[in-house]
Amino acid sequence: MLSKGSDPVASFERFAEEANMAKKCEKISLGRGQGPKAEIMINENLNRGGWVLLMNCHLAVSWMPKLEAIVEQIDDTKHRDFRLWLTSTPNPHFPVSILQNSVKMTLEPPSGLKSNVLQTYEALSPEEFDECTKPETYKKLLFGFCFFHAIVQDRRKFGPIGWNIPYAFTNEDLIVSRRQLKKFVEAYDDVPFEVLNMLGAQINYGGRVTQTQDIRLIRTILESFINTDILTEGHKFSESGIYYSLAPGDKEDYLDYIKTLPLNPDPEAFGLHDNA
Query: Stretch 131-152: mean pLDDT, rounded?
Result: 94
Per-residue pLDDT reduced to its tens digit, 182-217: 999 999 999 999 999 999 999 999 988 999 999 999
pLDDT at residue 260 is higher than 70? yes
Looking at domain 9-100, does it have CATH number 3.40.50.1820? no
CATH number for domain 113-270, candidates 2.60.40.10, 1.10.3720.10, 1.10.8.720, 3.30.300.130: 1.10.8.720
Every domain range in the chain assigned CATH 3.40.50.300: 9-100
* Alpha carbons 271 and 237: distance in angstroms, whole number: 9
Residue with more model confidence, 77 or 232: 232
Every domain range in the chain assigned CATH 1.10.8.720: 113-270
Q: How is the beta sheet containing 25-29 ordered, strand by strand?
A: 25-29, 51-55, 83-86
State residue 162 phi and psi, 5-degree precision. Answer: -80, -55
Per-residue pLDDT reduced to its tens digit, 18-55: 899 989 999 999 988 898 999 999 999 998 899 999 99
Q: State pTM to two decimals.
A: 0.76
Integer CA distances (angstroms), 174 to 109, 120, 163, 239, 252, in order: 13, 9, 19, 25, 20
Determine the pLDDT at residue 125: 86
State residue 50 phi and psi, 5-degree precision. Answer: -90, 180
pLDDT at residue 160 is higher than 90? yes
Determine the pLDDT at residue 6: 67
Determine the pLDDT at residue 231: 93
Per-residue pLDDT reduced to its tens digit, 73-95: 888 888 889 999 999 988 888 89
Query: Stretch 109-118: mean pLDDT, rounded?
Result: 86
